[in-house]
Amino acid sequence: MTEAGLRRKLDKAFLLQAGVISLVAALSVYAAGFVLEEVLVKQALRKEADHFWQHYDKEKQFPRPDTLNLTGYLGAVSSGEGIPSDLRDLGLGFHGLTPAMDYSVVYVTEHENQRLVLVFDGESVNQLALYFGLVPLTIVLIVLYVGAWLAYRQSRQAVSPIIKLARAVHELDLEHPDASVFDAGVYTDNPNQEVSSLAAALHHFAQRINEFVDRERSFTRDASHELRSPLTVIKIAADMLLSEQELSTPARNSVERIKRSANDMEDLVGAFLLLARESEQGLSREPVCVNDLVAEEIERAAPLLAGKPIDVQSTADVRLVVNTSEKVLSVLIGNLIRNAFSYTDEGRVIAHVGDGYVRIEDSGIGIPKKDVERVFKPFQQGHSQRRGGFGVGLTIVRRLSDRFNWPVDIESQPEIGTRATVEFPGAQSEPLARTG
């Protein structure tokens, strides 16, 4: 885009300059011809006629004008004798006998019953105009065009390094940026200091990107191991405690809460590591049935409903299939379901799969209208009186929806409930298999 844009602008500027020069030259030729015919030639004929009549008054035998370019005819007004027949019927004033480019002009005057016809032959004038007008003008035009062409070539050479830099930036692989394409040595043939400075800045920028990419990979690798390991230990220890027969009911409930929190933290760590990646490279993509995933997440979040009179329903209009990472989709839907379970004390929670969307609806405490948008911000919870969770669930949902282009919308009213809808553009909807 940049290469085509700069070169196109230069081409347009050169063509515009050439067009303006040509237009000015054509107007100059026309103006010169007008001045030559309308001003110089006619003014000369008037003065020539006045000069003749002044001398004619003094000497009737004063010779009529007769030169290389000017011929005079004198005759009586009544008879026209002495005047060529094709000029006798001309009226007073100027007349053109040949095409305008010839400058041949006839000037007719009368004095004391005598008629003077002056015929100016423009052929020689045309030759003089050609030699002393058009030829120099042609030379000037050639010089101007050559100068414009040289300026155009210089401009092309000046912007060529910029075009080269723009192309290198456009083709730069941000996952594996090659800083060598911006080395100063590549542009040593251009003495432009600005180009060298720009190349140096881009070289430094590419190096910084490489460092950032390396740090990102190191962080996700190390964090994946260092954060998951203690969580695995906690889960194993919780399972061992739960296997003890002598464990009291309050203690067992506490251990189950520990295990549940460890599972939540493991999902949270996975989501954070996913969002920390610059791209989705390395994520496996496969057809994922949203209906099955919703059922699995409802089962996983079931411990949050312990002791609550809540009716959980899972309904569907279609069988929805999304081509994505199952882990990503489970994090998004799981957060919405856990949110609904956590903020509903009684009533119902309905997870509905529709044509291209999933809707999680609950009859919980709801969210005030002024706080609906705020719940997508980190460490914000839907209700100030309800504590629990980490306050980042909906933040993760929003970031995943933005990352994978899955629009999410939340509608809520206090004491009535909340409805969260996630759309999946491009998902495949299949008819549900009928039983019986």
Query: Confidence class of residue 21 from pLDDT cuts 50, 70 and 90?
Result: confident
Whether the Cβ atoms of residue 378 and residue 389 lie closer than 8 Å to each other: no
Q: Mind listing the pLDDT tens digit for each residue in 64-86?
A: 888 878 889 988 888 888 888 88
Q: Which two tokens stand for residue 159?
A: 């912007």
Lowest mean pLDDT among 56-65, 263-272, 286-295, 397-406: 263-272
Whole-number pLDDT of residue 321: 95
Rg of the chain over CA atoms, in angstroms?
47
Query: Mean of the pLDDT values across residues 43-62?
Result: 88
What CATH number does the domain located at 283-430 have? 3.30.565.10
12 compared with 224, residue with greater pLDDT: 12
Cα 284 to Cα 385: distance, rounded to the nearest angstrom: 40
Sequence-ordered list of residues with C-beta below 8 angstroms from that of 281, at least 6 positions apart, any chain = 175
Report how far residue 50's alpha carbon sits from residue 43's, in angstroms, rounded to the nearest whole number. Answer: 11
Helix orientation angle between 326-342 and 249-276, rounded to the nearest 10 degrees: 130
Q: Which residue ranges make up each domain of the chain?
A: 2-144, 283-430
Residue 225 CA, chain-centre distance (Å), reads: 42
CA angle 328, 329, 334 (to 5 degrees): 105
Please give the mean pLDDT across all residues of the chain: 78
More confident position, 142 or 405: 405
Instruction: Encode burial over 285-304: b for 16+ CB neighbours within 10 A, e otherwise.
Output: eeebbbbebbeebbebbeeb
Higher per-residue confidence, 320 vs 231: 320
